[in-house]
Amino acid sequence: MIDWCDKCEELMQPYLDGSLSDAEVAEAAHHLELCSWCAKRFRFEERLRHYVRVAVSEPMSAELKAKLSALRTPLDA
């Protein structure tokens, strides 16, 4: 017998990445409709991915930006 919650845990990453087959998407979506426990964990994963992207983003310093700009080939008059 299949434990659908276990199966959904396995499918979560490829489901959110959009890399499952249509049949697998339909299977997972069907279970998520019935199971709020799994649905919540999928929503958390989506938010987590976004949060990770924002949390680790560090802007470049103005000094480095200026240094890179200075690497440009000087234009001949």
Partner 1 sequence: MSDTAPTTANTRRLAEEARARVRFEEEALDLSDQVYRVARRLVGSREEAEDLVQQTYERAFRSWRQFTPGTNLRAWLLRILTNLNIDRGRRQQRAPQTTPLETEAGDYFLYNKLEAQLPEENPAEERVLERLSQDSIVDALADVPHDFRDVIVLVDIGEFTYADAAQILDIPIGTVMSRLHRGRRILKKNLADGVPA
Rounded distance between C-alpha atoms, residue 28 and residue 50, angstroms? 22
The least CB distance from residue 35 to partner 1, in Å, is 12
Q: Does position 66 bind partner 1 by CB under 8 A? A: no
Residue 59 CA to residue 55 CA, distance in Å, equals: 11
Asked whether position 10 contacts partner 1 by CB under 8 A, the answer is: yes
With CB under 8 A as the contact rule, the residue among 30, 33, 34, 44 that binds partner 1 is: 44
How many angstroms separate the CA atoms of 39 and 29, rounded? 9
Number of residues that bind partner 1 (CB under 8 A): 34
- CA 61 from centre of chain: 26
Residue 3 in the binding site for partner 1 (CB under 8 A): no
